[in-house]
Structure 1
Amino acid sequence: MSGRGLLMWDEAVTKYDFGDSHPMDPVRLALTMGLVRAYGLDRAMDVVSAKSAGDSTLRLVHRADYVAAVRAASADPHGADQAYGLGTVDDPAFAGMHEASALIAGQSVGAAEAVWRGEAGHAVNFAGGLHHAMPGAASGFCVYNDASLAIARLLELGAERVAYVDVDVHHGDGVQAAFWDDPRVLTISLHEHPRTLFPQTGWPEETGGKGAGEGSAVNLALPAGTGDEGWLRAFHAVVPELLADFRPQVLVTQHGADTHFEDPLAHLAVSLDAQRAIQEACHDLAHSCADGKWIALGGGGYEIVDVVPRSWTHLVGIAAHQPVDPGSVIPSSWRDEVYARTRRLAPGRMTDGRWPVRWKGWDEGYDPGDRLDQAILATRRAVFPLRGLLA
């Protein structure tokens, strides 16, 4: 296995562009890559571009009629079929939509192939993590579900156990749906409670299909307002024990940056420093539970200057085994790039001033009156017995 990680990158992924008024501004990808370069992390990893996902690959998850509908909308955005979730407020059709979406999917599939074959231990595609797309419909800013396609490709290559951990503020509903009945895939999603946030799914009682799939879906629904200590407590109260039991051959993680307190579309209160702590935890879990095989994806994140580039640059640094010091001063070259692209002032350091983040472990006690602890316990009670673990 190569000692260097892979960074999947192609400038053309920035053509995944729903328009000027849409919150998913592709400049967040360009600024992330710019910050990665400013820290020299592109020299610490092999930067590669995989080929776009072809129809046979897309059909590992998506229906043929849906792929055809995306192609049609890509050629004629005004004729997009809303029955497929295309041409909606969340997912406006745009020229070249199929090509941009298939390229992002191809990067995640290529990452999966390289990690499975031992060509790299870790691979990052921060343009990916489009976890809401369903087999037959676009949803939540997502056209093709690259995370599901990467997992499906791993299964096609012979993987018998793949774990997917999603820490985006929104429920990883599309990935859960794709593998609902498949015991080879364990999906774990930590997200804001469905009572207060799209897509209104991800209740703790959603534990997988009946029969062999039961217990293969795990959902931890966090109360709005959850901050650093609670978010980390919840993660460590559920994820490590499940992964140690499942023993995945590959760990796929999704790192949406929209848990941040500055994100305009959600209601958690997590800092950049806590996001970095979870990234480190996922890296450690890949080594302790999955023989180091780790595929890390991006996801949501709509504070495109202050949050997304810094968060995903930390992710790249961790995967490159050259973590960025949270206290480091951000290079002026990148701050100049930010101003040139957005006319906004860039942040000065790689921290929100909360590093290192501390939290109370689950083994240190349970408060029955605390809403976060109630959420943790609801998840453990729903799924742990199904997997033969003590709740």
Structure 2
Amino acid sequence: MPSSSCVAWSPDLLRYDFGPGHPMAPTRLDLTMDLVTGLGLLEAPGVHVMAPVPVPDDVLTLVHDADYVAAVRAASEHGVTDPARGLGTEDDPVFPGMHDAAARIVDGSYRAAGLIADGTVDHAVNVAGGMHHAKAGAASGFCIYNDAAVAIQRLLDDGVERVAYVDLDAHHGDGVESIFWDDPRVLTVSVHQSGTTLFPGTGNAVDVGGLHAPGSAVNVALPRRADGVRWLRAVDAVVPHVLRAFRPGVLVTQHGCDAHGDDPLSDLDVSVAAQHTAATRMHDLAHELTDGRWLALGGGGYAVARVVPLVWAAVVGEVVHAPVAPGQPLPERWRQRVLDVAGVLPPEAFDALVEPRPWSDGFDPADDVDRAVMSTRRAVFPHLGLDPHHD
């Protein structure tokens, strides 16, 4: 098995910029990679840093409609809005160079997937990626092109028989799910705040895949204010079981960190430590199930100073086999830069990891998180040959 890893990064990725006041601020990527560098993670043995460039249209049309790609180009080059395709909306305002900026993000995930498929690397990460809301023919939720879906399609085209996608963003991974809704080769798993209380309003437990792929979509829709311990209990009660039943050849994970209690765009309360713990879980599952073949992506996350850099630096640490240790201090130079840029002082160190009460301890019908988990298990486990009532 290869022992090298790929980190997709270039300062050019900061050009994905919807303008002042938009939540998808390039600062979150800038501060993340500054922390990654300060922790020495890019200097770990076997790390290859790949600078993404805009992919050609034939890569985008692996999952996107050609007329949509043309509409993005028109918006990017001539400022032509197309609200029917999500271009020029409050969430996705048009900006010059938008096509190239979005296509560059796709390249980071697309080429990383190719390196995993051909055995050049075992792990790869693109923290600028995870644009999971983009549909085949429309932008949505700050996402122009769906790099996660393009990467999954490349893995399939390169001969991987089954790909599992796990989405830990606070918002349902609707774009990836819709693109592979009826494809039995792809398992999409999303652990998110319920669509009854949060954008995009989808991702119910009973949504389990298309006519030709029942059980290929798994949705855990959580109540507001679910904290890190209960969130991680939900992850543990569903994700490992469905992955083991599906037996993927490659694992793709999306680590949107907007489930944090400080995030302005969700109502969950999941700590950095819990999200860090989840990254270690995904890493362990990759080694257990896919011979270590793992592509990790970023996603949402709008607490740009105290949350996003810490979560994603921990993800990068897992990918490059230099895990961030609980209690590891944050570099003072980086902390001062955060204060200068964002006006807030981040923590002094990473917190300890989180261990939730295991599902094997028993279902609690009085707990709203447990009820959400059981709804998912009852809806989808039988399709995968699993018993929803037993661990």
Q: TM-score range by the shorter chain?
A: over 0.9
Q: Which amino acid aligns with 2:344?
A: R
* TM-score where L is the length of structure 1: 0.97
Tell me the equivalent position of 2:57: 55
What's the counterpart of residue 115 of structure 1?
A: 116
Distance in 2 separating the partners of 1:228 and 1:91? 30
Checking the alignment, whether the CA contact within 8 Å between 1:193 and 1:223 is kept in structure 2 is yes
Instruction: Give 1:53 deviation, angstroms.
Output: 1.7
* Distance of 1:335 and 1:372 partners within structure 2: 35
Task: After TM superposition, give the deviation of residue 155 of structure 1 in Å.
Answer: 0.9
The yes-or-no answer on 1:217 pairing with 2:217 is yes
1:379 equivalent among 367, 376, 380? 376
TM-score normalised by structure 2 residue count: 0.97
What is the CA–CA distance in structure 2 between the aligned matches of 1:93 and 1:347, rounded to whole Å? 36
How much does 1:337 deviate? 2.4
State the distance in 2 between where 1:51 and 1:127 align.
13
Contact 2:276–2:311 under 8 Å retained in 1: yes
* C-alpha contact 2:276 2:353 (8 A) present in aligned 1: no
Q: Distance in 2 between matches of 1:214 and 1:358?
A: 32
Distance (whole Å) between structure 2 residues aligned to residue 39 and residue 313 of structure 1: 8
Report if the CA contact (8 A) 2:326-2:353 is conserved: no
Is the Cα–Cα contact under 8 Å of residues 5 and 122 in structure 2 kept in the other structure? yes
Q: Distance in 2 between matches of 1:228 and 1:20?
A: 31
How far apart are the structure 2 equivalents of 1:356 and 1:346?
18
Hey, what does 1:72 align to over in structure 2? 74
Q: Deviations over 1:251-306 (max 9, x none)?
A: 00000010111101101111000001000000000000111100000000000000
> Aligned-pair distance for 1:334?
1.0
Alignment partners' CA distance in 1, 2:193 and 2:375: 14
2:133 is aligned to 132
Amino acid at match of 1:282: M
Report the secondary structure of 2:7's partner residue. Answer: strand
- What is aligned with 2:208? 207
- Residue matched to 2:230: 230
**SS where residue 389 of structure 1 aligns?**
coil
Q: Secondary structure at the match of 2:221?
A: strand
* Structure 1 position 348, deviation (Å): 1.9
1:116 and 1:350 mapped to 2: Cα distance? Answer: 33
Deviation at 1:374, TM superposition (A): 0.8
How far off its partner does 1:194 sit? Answer: 0.8
TM-aligned CA deviation for residue 54 of structure 1 = 1.1
Deviation at 1:2, TM superposition (A): 3.3
Consecutive unaligned residues in structure 1, runs of 5 or more: none
Q: Aligned letter for 1:92?
A: P
Residue number in structure 1 paired with 2:40? 40
Give the superposition deviation at 1:342: 3.1
Structure 2 distance, partners of 1:175, 1:356, is 29
Say whether residues 1:14 and 2:11 are aligned partners. no
Deviating above 4 A after TM superposition, structure 1's stretches of 4 or more consecutive aligned residues are none
In the TM superposition, what whole-angstrom CA distance separates every residue of 1:33-69 from its partner, at most 9, and x where no partner exists? Answer: 1000001001112111243221111001100000000
Corresponding position: 1:173 with 2:174: yes
Give the CA deviation at 1:327.
1.0
Q: CA RMSD in A?
A: 1.0
**Alignment partner, residue 154 of structure 2:** 153
